């Protein structure tokens, strides 16, 4: 993804672990992790998190263009992936 010759998945994982070790708050961690991934992974247009509330995915911290605020389980790519528990590419 990153076309820089010095990109390292191991370094990215270490940076993520460092960010996530500072707090146990899921909102803070999601915000920092989405910022890190958006910064480090070239060619990515959106990185973020949705949180499940009942049967609805609600947008959480993200980097990129504005996103859908809520997504019903089973609807669209994200809702279908959440309902099935599987990655969709």
What's 9-84's CATH class?
Answer: alpha beta
Domain ranges of the chain: 9-84
When pLDDT is averaged across residues 1-9 and rounded to a whole number, the result is: 65
On the question of pLDDT at 19 being above 60, the answer is: yes
On the question of pLDDT at 89 being above 70, the answer is: yes
On the question of pLDDT at 7 being above 90, the answer is: no
Q: From start to end of 1-89, where are the E strands?
A: 46-53, 56-64, 70-72
Closest to 41 in 3D by CA, of 62, 12, 78: 12
- Per-residue confidence (pLDDT) for residue 3, from 0 to 100: 52
Would you give the end-to-end CA distance of the chain in angstroms?
A: 15
Structure confidence by residue, pLDDT tens digits, 40-88: 999 999 999 999 999 999 999 999 999 999 999 999 999 999 999 999 9
Structure confidence by residue, pLDDT tens digits, 23-41: 999 999 999 999 999 999 9
> How much is the pTM?
0.81
């Amino acid at each position: 993804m990153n076309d820089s010759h010095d990109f390292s998945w191991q370094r990215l994982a270490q940076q993520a672990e460092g960010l996530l070790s500072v707090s146990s708050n899921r909102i803070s961690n999601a915000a920092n992790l989405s910022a890190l991934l958006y910064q480090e992974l070239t060619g990515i247009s959106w990185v973020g998190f949705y949180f499940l509330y009942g049967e609805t995915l609600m947008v959480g911290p993200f980097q990129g263009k504005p996103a859908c605020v809520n997504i019903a389980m089973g609807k669209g790519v994200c809702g279908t992936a959440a309902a099935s528990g599987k990655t969709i590419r």
